[in-house]
Structure 1
Amino acid sequence: MLKKSYKIVFVPYTIFLLYLMFFGMGRTQSEDNLLTIEPIFSTINFIKGSVSWKDIIIIVGGNIIMFIPFGFLGWIFPKLDDLKTLLFTFISSIVIIEALQYFSRMGIFEVDDILLNTFGVFLGFLMKKIIEKRFKNWVI
């Protein structure tokens, strides 16, 4: 039942997430191609310069939480049930998406986004394994 529901929701969710990454939250095309390649420091600087905890939770937490569902991709694509394969595939995909943001100037290529998104996928993978063990009858 869970696998079937996931399969139904996955494509619309992915389209929604891509919309957010390119057009959501008032994004407009910037004049320059923007790039942030300093891992961790850009997130730390964002937190230091942030006006509110709400912004921090939305941006940093969102970059993790919104990608948790991709940790369940093994339910659709059995080859992605292996953590190494899942992470390699996801990192390759997210780097392409970040590059598209950079070249289209509809976002910033940020290494921290790649790290936070990948952490979300990892958490999702762990959650999937726990769900599969605890709720065997529901995961069909």
Structure 2
Amino acid sequence: MHFFEKFYKISIAFYAVFLLYLMFFGFGRSPYPINIVRLVPMFSTLGFVKETILWKSIFINVCGNILMFMPFGFLGIVFPKLNDFRTLIINFISAIVVVESLQYITRLGVFDIDDIILNTLGVAMGFFLYQFIWGRSIHKDS
């Protein structure tokens, strides 16, 4: 676990920057001509699944939004206060709302409630995986 903690502490900041790059510039993004907000939960995701023929595209979009955020469920390694699920989720939702808002403002993405839901689900899954594997006693001596 000691090696993993060191590796995580070093790599999570780079990973966060990489994800921000993907969210604003990746996948050949260019600015939308208008600002777009999607506030009806799961409406755009279900529409995407319904209209998409390739399962690979569905997996990349839906599961990617979950899996790519799982590493943030381990943030308690870096910030012991985030070993509390509620604290982690509140902080993460606050941060992802800021990112989604910046996507809206810059038009380099869409403010989409589905992204917030799926990304938060990923963080929650990562948190429970972290707790399952290493337990709650990781930072008792910290």
What is the 5 A alignment of 1:1-140? 1-133=3-135
Letter in 2 for 1:55: S
**Dislocated runs of 4+, deviation >3 Å:** none
Q: Distance in 2 between matches of 1:113 and 1:100?
A: 13
What is the SS of the residue equivalent to 2:118?
helix
Letter in 2 for 1:25: F
Letter in 1 for 2:87: T
Unaligned runs of 5+ in 1: none
Aligned residue pairs, count: 134
Aligned identity (percent) is 51
For residues 42-76 of structure 1, the C-alpha deviation after alignment (integer angstroms, 9 at most, x for no partner) is 11111001121011000001000000000000000
Letter in 2 for 1:38: V
Letter in 2 for 1:110: D
Q: Distance in 2 between matches of 1:48 and 1:34?
A: 21
Q: Distance in 2 between matches of 1:20 and 1:51?
A: 24
Deviation at 1:39, TM superposition (A): 0.2
What is the SS of the residue equivalent to 1:46?
helix
Q: Distance in 1 between matches of 2:17 and 2:47?
A: 30
CA RMSD of aligned residues (A): 0.9
TM-score normalised to structure 2 length: 0.92
What is the SS of the residue equivalent to 1:118?
helix
Unaligned runs of 5+ in 2: none
Q: Distance in 1 between matches of 2:89 and 2:48?
A: 26
